[in-house]
Amino acid sequence: MKRLLLVGTLAVAALVLALPAMAGKSLGPPGGTIWAFDEAYHTIGVGNTLPDQGPTDTLYHFPDCETCDAVSDAAPGHPGYNGGRWQVVDAYGITSQYTNAEDVVANATMLVDGPRTECPLIRS
């Protein structure tokens, strides 16, 4: 009984000590920022891989830039937006943040198709 009480007390103490470190961190699915038409959008990563059929928009990812957010060629309210269905394209040679697809295409040294996925764009 004393051992169970000690283990319980230690668990509560560990949680209390961890709370300040967890403050400010959001709970829930992974998310991030995607840029489109020079505007930042929030997204929620749902982790779905789509089959290679049906309409998609392009979502540029930057393998050469660890701090760059993805850039889209479409967004809610723009003609032809496919509701968050993406063909991911690795844009090589990009080492700083761009905020529109035209600049990405103009400055990439190579574009390589990756998987298809889905995630919503939510206006910031």
Amino acid at 5: L
Instruction: Specify if 110 maps to a domain.
Output: yes
pLDDT band at 61 (very low <50, low <70, confident <90, very high): very high
pLDDT bracket for residue 3 (50, 70, 90): very low
In a domain, 18, yes or no: no
And the tokens for 39?
A: 């505007």
**Whether this model's pTM surpasses 0.75:** no
What is the DSSP code (8-state) at residue 41? E
Q: How high is the pLDDT of residue 96?
A: 97
Q: What is the number of domains present in the chain?
A: 1
Structure tokens at 18: 């961890």
pLDDT above 50: residue 74: yes
Question: 83 to each of 50, 57, 64, 75, 78, how far by Cα in Å?
Answer: 13, 9, 27, 8, 11
**Which domain covers residue 111, as residue numbers?**
28-123
- Asked if residue 58 is part of any domain, the answer here is yes
Binning pLDDT at 50, 70 and 90, where does residue 27 land? very low
pLDDT band (50, 70, 90) for residue 47: low
Beta-bridged to residue 113, according to DSSP, are: 89
76, part of any domain? yes
DSSP bridge partners of 49: 117
